[in-house]
Amino acid sequence: MRLRYLSGFGGHFESEAVPGALPRGQNSPQLVPFALYAEQLSGTAFTAPRSINRRVWMYRLDPSVKHSRHLPRAHAALQSDFTGTAGIVAADQLRWRPLPLLPGAVGGEGVDWLDGLVTMCGAGSAESKEGLAIHLYAFNAGMRARRRAFSNADGDLLIVPQHGALLVTTELGRLEVEPGEVVVVQRNITFAVDAAVCGEGASSCRGYVLETFYAAHLAPAERGPVGANGLAEERDFLHPTAWYEDITGAHVVTVKTGGRLFERARSHSPFDVVAWHGNYAPFKYDLARFRAVNSVTVDHTDPSVFTVLTLPSAEPGSAAVDFAIFPPRWMCAERTFRPPYFHRNCMAEFMGLIHGGYDAKVGFVAGGSSLHNIGTPHGPDEASYRAAIEADTSTPAKFAGGTAFMFETRAPLRLSGFAADEGTAIFDTEYRNCWDGLPRAVLPANLEHMEDGAEPPRCA
Ligand SMILES: [Fe+2]
């Protein structure tokens, strides 16, 4: 399937699936072309400054308000509150194996994307509009075939497919998202997730999801001294073009608000937007387009230089959450320990691996996850350390082994019950042993050193 996209970030787009469907010169005319319904979706408060104000006008066959009463729906594995006793505090270095891929589903059986979500960790709560949640997904059934859609009032969703390409159908059009690409579906935009390729073995998908509860939205990181070019380029963010289906019959939209799920039934498809314009629309981004920069002299640049998307906090320079990647790249710093260094961070780091390997961990496998919470020491494992100190750094070397990513947040992350359960098949109980064999530095016996109590040198 070759879909058309609108390129750019932060701009004002317009798209119509039927010529003449988009009103000209005004947003809400008395009579909309083709008797469509005009409907605004706000992504920010009405009065947000123009530079950050987000909204979209949709022109649709039926207004969204035509639906049944909301009925509660259970989802035992999905968590949106990590406050009080609702999350499990963890200080250890933690790692998980990938979720198992689900076998090919038959007929209408199987688990769809929404039911296949399982929360790993998070901070704050959806109701407070402060915090985030990190989920994994594994599914083998489509949402469209079930005439099912999802709308999240709790925040934006950044979906990182790891296995299996996705077809993400939204009110504003469709996006095909392959592993190596990511897609952002913002708060209150109705969408459905399906496998993009149907066929034997191709409908089983797996990946990661970042859910941000904040009022602000993810945006490309500032470039600072890098200049006007590089890192994530605006033209590489792709938004869908208008697409609609004129289908009646039972449809269900599951909504999440305040951490609770409800279902509202409709007698028509929610994907009935014939035209739209605005600056609040889903987008996808190909991580291979990221223009990475790094040290060309000595030392290892902080991983913040690989930030693709960020969501600022009120504290200057400290993100509420960053999405950073570790892509294939040249490493050329001389006399330098080239892998990520040993460190303790004032931010919490949740990592995933999309494909291949990660240059600081031999045992990190594609589809797996790790968490190093605020202040938790971590760094390269023994094998990576030994290889790095023996490497020839007089010439550049290409790290072509894979693409890892990190959700980094200033909030301490708390675990879900699933993530904390050491008895699950994905919990890696051996992870903390990967540093045991690191050799201890030995000082020479005859080393000169300052005597205790010696006078410090005085200034003249
Ligand atoms: Fe780290």
Report how far ligand 1's centroid is from the alpha carbon of 343 (Å).
6
Report how far ligand 1's centroid is from the alpha carbon of 369 (Å).
13
What are the residue boundaries of the structural domains of the chain, listed by start?
5-94+102-287, 290-434
Q: What pLDDT does 21 receive? A: 98
Q: What pLDDT does 85 receive? A: 87
Euclidean distance between the first and the last CA atom of the chain, given in angstroms as a whole number: 77
Report how far ligand 1's centroid is from the alpha carbon of 418 (Å).
23
Query: Scanning the structure block, which residue is given the tokens 């314009």?
Result: 277
Question: At residue 201, does pLDDT exceed 50?
Answer: no
Quick: pLDDT tens for 299-344: 988 999 999 999 999 999 899 999 999 999 999 999 999 998 999 9
Q: What pLDDT does 358 receive? A: 87
Quick: pLDDT tens for 76-88: 999 999 998 899 9
Report how far ligand 1's centroid is from the alpha carbon of 378 (Å).
6
Question: 89-93, 159-163, 219-223, 447-451: which range is least confident on average?
Answer: 447-451
Question: At residue 454, does pLDDT exceed 90?
Answer: no
Report how far ligand 1's centroid is from the alpha carbon of 108 (Å).
42
Report how far ligand 1's centroid is from the alpha carbon of 422 (Å).
23
Quick: pLDDT tens for 97-118: 999 999 877 666 899 999 999 9
Report how far ligand 1's centroid is from the alpha carbon of 101 (Å).
28
Q: Is 67 annotated as a binding residue?
A: no
* C-alpha to C-alpha distance for 32 and 29, rounded to whole angstroms: 6
Q: Is 378 annotated as a binding residue?
A: yes
Q: Is 358 annotated as a binding residue?
A: yes
Please compute the mean of the pLDDT values over residues 280-305 and round it to a whole number. Answer: 95
Please compute the mean of the pLDDT values over residues 137-152 and round it to a whole number. Answer: 96
Distances 239 to 1, 10, 279, 285 between C-alpha atoms, Å: 16, 11, 10, 9
Report how far ligand 1's centroid is from the alpha carbon of 377 (Å).
8
Q: What pLDDT does 187 receive? A: 98
Q: What pLDDT does 450 receive? A: 72
Mean pLDDT of the chain: 94
- 5-94+102-287 CATH: 2.60.120.10
Q: What pLDDT does 457 receive? A: 63
- 447 confidence band (pLDDT: 50, 70, 90): confident
- Tokens representing residue 138 in the block: 């594994």
- 290-434 CATH: 2.60.120.10
- 456 confidence band (pLDDT: 50, 70, 90): low
- 294 confidence band (pLDDT: 50, 70, 90): very high
Question: 98-112, 174-188, 363-377: which range is least confident on average?
Answer: 98-112
Q: What pLDDT does 202 receive? A: 56
Q: What pLDDT does 197 receive? A: 77
Please compute the mean of the pLDDT values over residues 61-76 and round it to a whole number. Answer: 95
Report how far ligand 1's centroid is from the alpha carbon of 367 (Å).
18
Quick: pLDDT tens for 29-61: 999 999 999 999 999 999 999 999 999 999 999
Quick: pLDDT tens for 231-285: 999 999 999 999 999 999 999 999 999 999 999 999 999 999 999 999 999 999 9
- 363 confidence band (pLDDT: 50, 70, 90): confident
Report how far ligand 1's centroid is from the alpha carbon of 213 (Å).
23
Distances 321 to 237, 241, 373, 416 between C-alpha atoms, Å: 19, 29, 13, 19
% of the chain with per-residue pLDDT over 90 = 88
Please compute the mean of the pLDDT values over residues 215-225 and round it to a whole number. Answer: 95
Distances 416 to 156, 297, 371 between C-alpha atoms, Å: 20, 43, 12
Report how far ligand 1's centroid is from the alpha carbon of 323 (Å).
13
Please compute the mean of the pLDDT values over residues 420-446 and round it to a whole number. Answer: 95
Q: Is 349 annotated as a binding residue?
A: yes
Q: What is the 3-state secondary structure (H, E, C) of the chain?
A: CCCCEEECCCCCEEEECCCCCCCCCCCCCCCCHHHCEEEEEECCCCCCCCCCCCEEEEEECCCCCCCCCCEEECCCCCCCECCCCCCEECCCCEEECCCCCCCCCCCCCCCCCCCCEEEEEEEEECCCCEEEEEEEEEECCCCCCCCEEEEECCCEEEEEEEECCEEEEECCEEEEECECEEEEECCCCCEEEEECCCCCCCCCEEEEEEEECCCCCCEECCCHHHCCCCECCHHHEEEECCCCCCCEEEEEEEEEECCEEEEEEEEECCCCEEEEEECCCCEEEEHHHCECCCCCCCCCCCHHHHEEEEEECCCCCCEEEEEEEECCEEECCCCCCCCCCCECCCCEEEEEEEEECECCECCCCCCCEEEECCCCCECCCHHHHHHHHHCCCCCCEEECCEEEEEEEECCCCEECHHHHCCCCCCECCCHHHHHCCCCCCCCCCCCCCCCCCCCCCCCC
* C-alpha to C-alpha distance for 97 and 247, rounded to whole angstroms: 41
User: Do the domains 5-94+102-287 and 290-434 sit in the same CATH topology, yes or no?
Assistant: yes
- 453 confidence band (pLDDT: 50, 70, 90): low
Catalytic (active-site) positions = 300
Report how far ligand 1's centroid is from the alpha carbon of 234 (Å).
27
Q: What pLDDT does 248 receive? A: 92
β-pairing verdict for 173-177 and 94-96: unpaired
Q: What pLDDT does 455 receive? A: 66
